[in-house]
């Protein structure tokens, strides 16, 4: 009727809210302890996070840079997850405001280097994940203050070497992942200082040989992954220090003869030696029979020589030797 004022259509009422939401896809909540943002269009690290924040996850976004002040005012921060972004560099002082940080995950960014002193105030860090970046070299200064680090993942980078004793300060480290890099050799003291190490992953590198004392610094090692390298021979006694080894993966190398760690009563070694050109004669057969490890994979564990055993499964030949003697 004339004189009445109709209310605006619902679309006009909702439009300002929709625009505001698009402009700020990840807004912090007051007094929250965890902040999560996976908005693909996010290009700036969120500001205004409450001082109560314990964990931040900004992942799968367009974030390419971080300001040195990004973590100011977050004195209780324990976890920082920044995986699958576009970061190419980090400010050297980024972590100074968060000395209680325990977990830092930078998986799948584009980091070619890190500042020398980035971890100088990160003495409480326990888990550091740098997998899937473009790191070409390891700086000893990164690890000087990480005395409590338990887990270090450097997989899928472009590392061509491990500098001697670079990990020496990491006396608490339990797991080290160097898989899928470009390592062609290991220095004799590459693992120096890692007396607490339990898991070492060197899979998918270009290792052609190992120094005889490679594992002398790691007597507590329980899991060792060396598959998908170019190992042609194993030094005599290379595994002797590894009396607690439970898993040994040597698959898909170029090995013709085998070395094994000492057999400890009551322990079973899970062993994968598939994809190697084994010489199935007495030294190999007697070793496998005596230690009696459980072969994790047998269908690709074949004899390349001598001719009478060519193409046969190693486990089958070992069982035959058990019946007839070597």
What are 78-133's pLDDT values in tens digits?
Answer: 999 999 999 999 999 999 999 999 999 999 999 999 999 999 999 999 999 999 99
Taking 50 as the threshold, does the pLDDT of residue 10 lie above it?
no
User: Greater confidence, 320 or 147?
Assistant: 147
Burial string for 177-207 (b: 16+ CB within 10 Å, else e) reads bbbbbebebbeebbbbbbeebbbbbbbbbeb
Res 22: pLDDT: 40
Write out pLDDT tens, residues 128-157: 999 999 999 999 999 999 999 999 999 999
Above pLDDT 90, what percent of the chain?
78
Above pLDDT 70, what percent of the chain?
88
Res 252: pLDDT: 97
């Amino acid at each position: 009727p004339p004189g009445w004022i109709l209310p605006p259509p619902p679309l006009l009422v909702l439009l300002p809210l929709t625009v505001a939401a698009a402009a700020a896809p990840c807004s912090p909540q007051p007094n929250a302890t965890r902040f999560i943002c996976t908005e693909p269009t996010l290009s700036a690290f969120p500001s205004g996070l409450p001082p109560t924040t314990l964990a931040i996850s900004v992942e799968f976004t367009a974030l390419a840079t971080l300001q040195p002040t990004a973590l100011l005012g977050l004195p209780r921060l324990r976890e920082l997850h920044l995986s699958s972004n576009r970061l190419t560099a980090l400010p050297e002082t980024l972590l100074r405001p968060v000395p209680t940080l325990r977990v830092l995950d930078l998986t799948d960014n584009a980091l070619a280097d890190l500042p020398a002193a980035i971890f100088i105030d990160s003495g409480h860090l326990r888990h550091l994940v740098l997998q899937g970046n473009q790191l070409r070299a390891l700086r000893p200064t990164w690890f000087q203050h990480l005395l409590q680090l338990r887990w270090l993942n450097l997989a899928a980078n472009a590392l061509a070497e491990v500098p001697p004793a670079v990990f020496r300060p990491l006396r608490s480290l339990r797991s080290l992942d160097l898989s899928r890099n470009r390592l062609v050799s290991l220095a004799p003291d590459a693992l120096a200082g890692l007396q607490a190490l339990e898991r070492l992953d060197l899979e998918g590198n270009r290792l052609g040989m190992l120094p005889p004392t490679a594992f002398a610094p790691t007597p507590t090692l329980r899991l060792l992954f060396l598959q998908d390298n170019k190992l042609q021979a194993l030094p005599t006694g290379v595994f002797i220090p590894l009396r607690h080894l439970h898993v040994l993966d040597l698959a898909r190398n170029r090995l013709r003869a085998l070395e094994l760690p000492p057999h400890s009563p009551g322990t079973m070694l899970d062993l994968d030696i598939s994809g190697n050109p084994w010489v199935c004669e007495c030294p190999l057969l007697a070793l496998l029979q005596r230690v009696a490890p459980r072969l994790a994979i047998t269908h690709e564990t074949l004899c390349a020589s001598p001719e009478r055993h060519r193409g046969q499964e190693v486990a089958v030949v070992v069982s035959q030797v058990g019946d007839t003697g070597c």
